[in-house]
Amino acid sequence: MATIFLSAGHGAGDPGAVAGGATEAAEIKLICDAVEKELQSRGLKVSVVPELRLRPTIDWINRQAKRGDVALELHADASKNIVDL
């Protein structure tokens, strides 16, 4: 069975987007935990990547992945509120 490597964007000292006291890193970690549980409940094999910066995350996955595995990194980035498009 293929493995889904799941990582939460940012963390390891990088907060990602920040708004109203919330950080992308903290919010995405919560979502990542929920996604992990949901995928496992559907019988899928999930491997959660430890909290690392981007390059070490990619290296960690590449050391373990086999052909057919999938890597998924979650983000909730932000943009300015654009009124006029």
Give the footprint of Zn ion on this chain (CB under 5 A). 9, 16, 75, 77
Minimum distance, C-beta of residue 32 to Zn ion, in the bound complex (Å): 12
The answer to whether 6 and 72 are in contact (CB under 8 A) is yes
Measured distance CA(30)–CA(26) in Å, rounded: 7
Measured from the CB atom, the residue of 29 and 75 that comes closer to Zn ion is 75
Measured from the CB atom, the residue of 44 and 74 that comes closer to Zn ion is 74
Minimum distance, C-beta of residue 12 to Zn ion, in the bound complex (Å): 13
Going by the DSSP 8-state scheme, the letter that residue 49 receives in this structure is: P
Measured from the CB atom, the residue of 63 and 80 that comes closer to Zn ion is 80
Q: Taking the CA of residue 65 as centre, how many other CA atoms within 13 Å lie in the half-sphere pointing to its CB?
A: 17
Q: Taking the CA of residue 73 as centre, how many other CA atoms within 13 Å lie in the half-sphere pointing to its CB?
A: 18
> By beta-carbon distance, which residue lies closest to Zn ion?
75
Minimum distance, C-beta of residue 78 to Zn ion, in the bound complex (Å): 8
